[in-house]
């Protein structure tokens, strides 16, 4: 990489963190600098997920980091947020992988699973020995997951599942899929199922031709008469609220992660502007319009840090509501995408070359803006909270 990350902290934000929180962040930062940054552009070009990093990330406690027991690190929500910030500063696709493994696979087993399911899956998922995926989104149902067509039918002591899922992170590398389906014999109630991916009738295929999240595996899933024992039903799941609780966990991590992407772009643009000379042999950082862009970015990054830190503190006290997380996800991803665009502008033509991370972050953030609740949906969640009226 042409420019090495120096860190971003305008208001002594670090003084708001505990020693443990700073240690967790610095450990994650060093891991990303040493292991991901040197290979990420090659991975992005090749459309390759850096599978070799899975075990080391497990060893550092990144998977299910904020869960207690089962070998999990038991981090606070703020510590986990700082980890996702550093992961996404490396690459959104790698942060997506960790988010899915943690918030969308381990969390539902932890929250809705039986003791046997927890003992079977959580330790192996925590170590990265087993990988998981989360099957909620369908080809025709993204923002409206309640419209899902995937069905489960109870037959004797088994469930038979049929349906399709789309845009599924880690689908083709997963050992287990958390599949959400409407149960026909239960008045079409939405329930979660643990579906081992080697079961007959289960098929996963990678989605190719992505311009975004190229270092992450994205798949389509097909289930044709897939039979699972009734012991694979997540007993605590019931209704659309269950998968939405999982998404809430993931959205929280994204709100922190987006700051990492913004920091990477801003820091690169700042350093570049001090080196690049134009007009009267002066660095472009001396120009008012460039300073205006840098000022906007550092201000918005700082505001985003304060927003997500407060939401993290509330979450650690059990007080964070879904609309708090919606505000953090909506604001911080928008902010990061604007930072990527302004940074690309400062770098000029160099901004589109992968000698620098900016275009990769920009392309990734276009997906992050859409997944786990689009910008528009989060806007309406906040709107419903302040007006008391649902607009969707």
Active site residues: 372
Write out the DSSP string of 275-300: H-B-STT-BGGGSHHHHHHHHHHHHH
Check if the beta carbon of residue 155 is closer than 8 Å to that of residue 250. Answer: no
CA distances from 141 to 19, 92, 137, 217, 281 (A): 44, 23, 6, 20, 55
CA 370 to chain centre: 12
Which letter, b or e, does each residue of 200-237 get, where b requires 16 or more Cβ atoms within 10 Å of its Cβ?
A: eebbbeeeeeeebbbbbbbbbbebeebebeeebbbebb
Query: Whole-angstrom Cα distance, residue 79 to residue 65?
Result: 9
Residue indicated by tokens 């012991």: 231
Q: Which residues does 360 contact at the CB level (< 8 Å), separation at least 6?
A: 40, 41, 44, 91, 214, 354
Buried b / exposed e along 159-187 (16+ C-beta atoms within 10 A)? bbbbbbbbbbbbbbbbbbbbbbbbbeeee
CA of residue 78 relative to chain centroid, distance: 15
């Amino acid at each position: 990489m042409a420019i090495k990350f120096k860190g971003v902290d305008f208001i002594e934000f670090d003084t708001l963190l505990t020693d443990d929180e700073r240690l967790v962040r610095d450990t994650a930062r060093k891991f990303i600098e040493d292991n991901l940054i040197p290979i990420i552009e090659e991975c992005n070009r090749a459309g390759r997920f850096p599978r070799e990093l899975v075990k080391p990330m497990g060893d550092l406690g990144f998977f299910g980091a904020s869960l207690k027991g089962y070998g999990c690190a038991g981090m606070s929500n703020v510590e986990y947020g700082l980890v996702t910030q550093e992961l996404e500063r490396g690459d959104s696709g790698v942060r997506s992988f960790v988010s899915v493994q943690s918030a969308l696979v381990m969390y539902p087993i932890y929250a809705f699973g039986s003791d046997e399911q927890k003992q079977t899956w959580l330790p192996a998922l925590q170590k990265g020995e087993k990988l998981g995926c989360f099957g909620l989104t369908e080809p025709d149902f993204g923002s409206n997951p309640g419209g899902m067509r995937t069905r489960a039918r109870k037959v004797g002591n088994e469930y038979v599942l049929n349906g399709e899922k789309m845009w599924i992170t880690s689908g083709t590398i997963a050992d287990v899929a958390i599949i959400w389906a409407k149960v026909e014999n239960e008045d079409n109630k939405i329930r979660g199922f643990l579906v081992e991916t080697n079961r007959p009738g289960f098929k996963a295929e990678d989605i190719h031709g992505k311009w975004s999240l190229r270092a992450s595996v994205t798949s389509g899933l097909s289930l044709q008469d897939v039979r699972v024992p009734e012991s694979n039903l997540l007993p605590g799941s019931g209704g659309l609220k269950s998968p939405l609780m999982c998404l809430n966990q993931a959205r929280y991590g994204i709100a922190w992660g987006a700051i990492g992407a913004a920091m990477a772009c801003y820091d690169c643009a700042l350093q570049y502007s001090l080196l690049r000379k134009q007009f009267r042999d002066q660095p472009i950082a001396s120009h008012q319009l460039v300073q205006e862009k840098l000022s906007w970015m550092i201000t918005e990054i700082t505001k985003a840090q304060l927003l997500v830190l407060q939401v993290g503190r509330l979450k650690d006290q059990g007080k964070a509501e879904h609309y708090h997380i919606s505000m953090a996800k909506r604001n911080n991803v928008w902010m990061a995408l604007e930072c990527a665009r302004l940074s690309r502008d400062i770098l000029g033509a160099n901004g589109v070359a992968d000698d620098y991370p900016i275009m990769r972050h920009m392309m990734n953030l276009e997906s992050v803006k859409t997944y786990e609740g689009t910008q528009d949906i989060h806007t309406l969640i906040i709107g419903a909270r302040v007006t008391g009226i649902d607009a969707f």
